[in-house]
A = this chain, B = another copy of it.
Amino acid sequence: MLIVQKYGGTSVGDLDRIQNVANKVAKTKKEGHRLVVVVSAMSGETDKLLGYAKHFSQIPDPRELDMILSSGERVTSALLALALQAMGFKSISLSGRGAGMITDKSHSKARIDHIDTARIDSLLEDDTIVVVAGFQGITPDGEVTTLGRGGSDLSAVALAGALKADLCEIYTDVEGVYTTDPRIEPKAKKIDKISYDEMLELASMGAKVLLNRSVELAKKLNVNLITKSSFSDNPGTLITKEEEIMENPVVSGIALDKNQARVSITNVQDRPGIAAEIFGALAEANINVDMIVQTIGYDSLTDMDFTIPKTELESAKLVLKRFEGSVGGIEFDDNIAKVSIVGVGMKSHTGVASKAFKALAQDNINIMMISTSEIKISMIINLKYAELSVRTLHATYELDK
């Protein structure tokens, strides 16, 4: 098999941990696989360098910042190559440039345009373990770029796609994807297999394992992603095409998001364009609107509820001031939580939602807003019931079994 492995900052956080990674890589190599290993900077390194840059400028020139930040991964990649060489393996480190990672020119948040894999191909041919500095690439002009948050994951997924790797293993400090946050529900179980779409819904709502950018790219490039721990030998979670998963459970996981605030606008004139005006104004202010629920009222008046990130609450208040005259009232509530039930099995099962409503009702938890998609049911509830609702729903769908 051709395997791309990616080790994050915690996994390469010090020299002993880099040795630990070398041991894991060596084990995979000895199983007869061809290997490309993508590494992050040692944990803390990127923040340290960012701190240096901010000492001179609060908004540092992104070109110079990329030059600075890209150095951390270069060091870890070469150190890992040295560790593997010391164990008797052929190994070489490649910077983003060396790996042929060509991006656009958006410094500090560059997008991968394509990967010129010629060099990696021939190194793999030569039985060499290729260690690639993650998080970085170059523009067509040869300027160093970085890929932004979660950039090393993205490097790994993009490489796996370009090389048509059989697997892309993302090593972190957690065992994989869980049915819910184990800190809230200790009975949470690790999920063995999950579809891209379910992962996207879980990740966007707080499962900190993988950023959606990487999952989306894996879906687009058809990359079999495995997320697992670099500190154990457990198998982790496979994220793959829905069709690859034989028996989809009705519900795969429960996600919780406590970073939303609710905006309720009452007695909005039910005329075309009013919603567009309000949401247009919010979009202009870069305020990301999540759930939207509109209820058709009497006398051509409707009520509109929607959620925004809690951090945007003050800006939203400013933006919406201009609509105060033309609506009944505007209320803001940051004392809420969003709890979501995710599962591709919902598509072919009925009664999933009503089961949730009933369970929450039994706990006297009032549901303020509901929105559903093919594979997700999201509910806005009072913040104080956030953890309780997660545990209740986790039990309701027997995710601890």
A82 touches B95 (CB 8 A): no
A82 — which chain B residues lie within 8 A by C-beta?
Answer: 53, 56-57, 60-61, 64-65
Q: Bits for A95-135, please: 1 = Cβ < 8 Å to B, else 0.
A: 10110000000000000000000000000000000000000
Query: Which of B74, B86, B144 is close to A57, meaning CB atoms less than 8 Å apart?
Result: B86
A97 — which chain B residues lie within 8 A by C-beta?
Answer: 142
B93 touches A56 (CB 8 A): no
Q: Is the interface of A mostly helix, strand, loop or mixed?
A: helix
Q: Is A232 an interface residue (CB 8 A)?
A: no
Query: Which of B15, B55, B95 is close to A52, meaning CB atoms less than 8 Å apart?
Result: B15
Q: Is A20 an interface residue (CB 8 A)?
A: no
CA distance A57 to B82 in the complex (A): 7
CA distance A107 to B75 in the complex (A): 16
- CB of A291, distance to nearest CB on chain B (Å): 41
A83 — which chain B residues lie within 8 A by C-beta?
Answer: 56
A79 touches B53 (CB 8 A): yes
Q: Is A240 an interface residue (CB 8 A)?
A: no
CA distance A18 to B53 in the complex (A): 11
CA distance A325 to B67 in the complex (A): 63
CA distance A79 to B55 in the complex (A): 9
B86 touches A75 (CB 8 A): no
A68 — which chain B residues lie within 8 A by C-beta?
Answer: 74-75, 78-79
A67 touches B78 (CB 8 A): yes
A18 — which chain B residues lie within 8 A by C-beta?
Answer: 56
CB closest chain-B residue, reference A16: B55
A52 touches B75 (CB 8 A): yes
Q: Is A49 an interface residue (CB 8 A)?
A: yes
- CB of A254, distance to nearest CB on chain B (Å): 43
A95 touches B67 (CB 8 A): yes
Within 8 A of B (CB), among A133-182: 142, 144
A64 touches B52 (CB 8 A): no
A95 — which chain B residues lie within 8 A by C-beta?
Answer: 67, 144
> Do A49 and B67 form a contact, CB below 8 Å, given A57-B86, A61-B82, A83-B56?
no
B15 touches A55 (CB 8 A): yes
- CB of A181, distance to nearest CB on chain B (Å): 36
Q: Is A71 an interface residue (CB 8 A)?
A: yes
Chain A residues proximal to chain B, CB less than 8 Å:
15, 18-19, 49, 52-53, 55-57, 60-61, 63-65, 67-68, 70-72, 74-75, 77-79, 81-83, 85-86, 92-93, 95, 97-98, 142, 144
